[in-house]
Amino acid sequence: MEPIVGRARHRAMLTTVRPRVIALASLLLGAVVVAGCTGSGATPNATPGATPGATPAPTPGAVDTPEAAVAAIQARTPLFDGIGPQRKDMIGQDRWWEAQPGDGTTPPTGWTIRFTVGWGDCPSGCIDRHGWTWNVTHDGTVTFVAEDGSPLAAQVLAGLRATAKGPGAGGRVFAGPTCPVERPDDPSCAPRMVANAVLVVKDAAGAEVLRSTMDGSGLFRWSLKAGDYTLEAQPLEGLMGTPAPMPFTVADGALTWLDVSYDTGIR
């Protein structure tokens, strides 16, 4: 039998050890809780390597500004490369773009972009104007809406082409005549842009390198390496004449402009 003195000493040792164990366990548990709350300092769902608390980077391709919406349209056609935003403090501005948000959210779900070119006494507001309207959604989807105004004057089109940037190729697909008797100043008789036309491009060896279907704007832009190509427009229902194959060359860093003309058959 253990002596009474020995039992008392054993109980005293337990009394001394248990509080130390409990205190150590509490300290470790507290450290785990603190680590779980602070982690490494990154916010939930943050981009790896991002600064803690910073706004996450926008989704690639997201259109958050009017400038991004304009760039998405310019990626589809070089016709508007030389057009900047409207400046109401500028007298005589003869080409500009305007942007309207699609809704009241921030950023909006999309933008309506209108490109306008004017000519004829533009210091007084331009006698004639021609415009194109597009919708661009937040995810970068571009939809052509309308083209309107005075018939696009040849010198105005030449000016737009002169400011187009390469590399590659770009141009227009249109059909004419649209009236039995041509009336140059009548908008209803102007050549019309062709929707749904299919254009095929082949390289010098005859291999197909791209196939493109036109939207209602009739405008296109292709990223092509320097070299020799042939454009083959496909027959289109409702139009009598299909353009002949068009050989063209793309120079390094330059833009090649292509006018693709279908014949309506109207005489």
Q: Where do the structural domains in the chain lie, given as residue ranges?
A: 59-164, 166-267
Stretch among 16-30, 90-104, 206-220 having the lowest mean pLDDT:
16-30
Predicted pLDDT of residue 266: 82
Average of per-residue pLDDT values in the chain? 80
What global pTM score does this model have?
0.73
E strands present in 156-245: 168-176, 192-193, 198-203, 208-213, 219-222, 227-233
Given a cut of 80, whether residue 55 has pLDDT beyond it is: no
Q: How far is CA 49 from CA 35, 37, 39, 62, in A?
A: 20, 19, 14, 21
Given a cut of 90, whether residue 165 has pLDDT beyond it is: yes
Q: How far apart are CA 262 and CA 159, in angstroms?
A: 23
Q: Tell which CATH classification among 3.40.640.10, 3.30.43.10, 2.60.40.10, 2.60.40.1220 matches the domain 166-267.
A: 2.60.40.10
Average pLDDT over residues 106-130: 94
Instruction: Report the percentage of the chain scoring pLDDT > 70.
Output: 75
Predicted pLDDT of residue 212: 96
Average pLDDT over residues 145-167: 93
Confidence class of residue 92 from pLDDT cuts 50, 70 and 90?
A: very high
Given a cut of 50, whether residue 32 has pLDDT beyond it is: no
CB atoms within 10 A of CB 106: 7
Confidence class of residue 183 from pLDDT cuts 50, 70 and 90?
A: low
Given a cut of 60, whether residue 66 has pLDDT beyond it is: yes
Closest to 216 measured CA to CA, from 152, 133, 155, 127: 133
Let me know the angle formed at the C-alpha of 87 by 95 and 257, rounded to the nearest 5 degrees: 25
Predicted pLDDT of residue 187: 66
Residues forming beta bridges with residue 13, ordered by sequence position = none
